[in-house]
């Protein structure tokens, strides 16, 4: 083996020094470069994992908020439809009240007009009766040629007028 070492030109002391230097360099790099570098990479990896988890949580919350928004919009829409329907019902009820009041007023006006017509007819009949009484008196006077006494004529005239009223009411 000595030949082998000499043939390749390997110096054992130098090889041992290089190995010691390599181990020393390895220790220094591991302690001051590789260790902090690994620690920094682990910290960065943890931060990235937290960021990814935060993003996933944010997406879930955003989806929940979107669902809540849709639900709130639907609820508001339903409430607005309910309010509109209630308003329409109130308007319809108010319209019906106004129509009923107008119909009642119309009925009152018609009834008042009918009452006035009946009163006017009664006054006209009374006027006609009074005029008819005078006409009957004149006719009787002409036929008999003399003026009958008021006492005798009054019951006859009233009876004739009653018959006239009954005849006109039947027609």
Dihedral angle at the C-alpha atoms of 77, 81, 87, 91, nearest 10 degrees? 150
Residue 82 Cα to chain centre, angstroms: 4
- The Cα–Cα gap between 75 and 69 comes to 10
pLDDT at 145: 56
CA angle 67, 69, 75 (to 5 degrees): 105
Q: Where are the domains of the chain?
A: 14-170
Q: Which element (helix H / strand E) includes 97?
A: helix 35-144
Say if CB 129 and CB 161 are below 8 A apart. yes
- Ordered mean pLDDT values, 10 residues apiece, the chain (171 residues): 70 88 93 89 96 96 95 96 95 96 95 93 77 73 62 73 79 63
Residue 149: φ, ψ to 5°: -70, 145
pLDDT at 64: 95
pLDDT at 127: 74
């Amino acid at each position: 083996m000595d030949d082998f070492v000499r043939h390749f030109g390997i110096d054992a002391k130098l090889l041992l020094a290089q190995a010691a230097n390599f181990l020393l360099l390895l220790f220094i790099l591991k302690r001051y470069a590789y260790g902090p570098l690994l620690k920094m990479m682990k910290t960065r990896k943890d931060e990235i994992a937290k960021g990814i988890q935060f993003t996933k949580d944010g997406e879930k919350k955003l989806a929940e908020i979107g669902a809540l928004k849709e639900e709130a919009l639907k609820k508001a829409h339903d409430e607005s439809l309910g309010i509109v329907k209630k308003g329409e019902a109130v308007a319809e009820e108010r319209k019906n009240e106004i129509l009923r009041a107008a119909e009642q007023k119309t009925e009152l006006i018609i009834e008042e007009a009918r009452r006035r017509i009946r009163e006017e007819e009664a006054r006209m009949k009374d006027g006609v009766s009074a005029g008819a009484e005078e006409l009957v008196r004149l006719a009787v006077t002409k036929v008999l040629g003399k003026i009958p006494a008021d006492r005798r004529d009054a019951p006859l005239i009233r009876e004739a007028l009653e018959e006239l009223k009954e005849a006109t009411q039947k027609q």
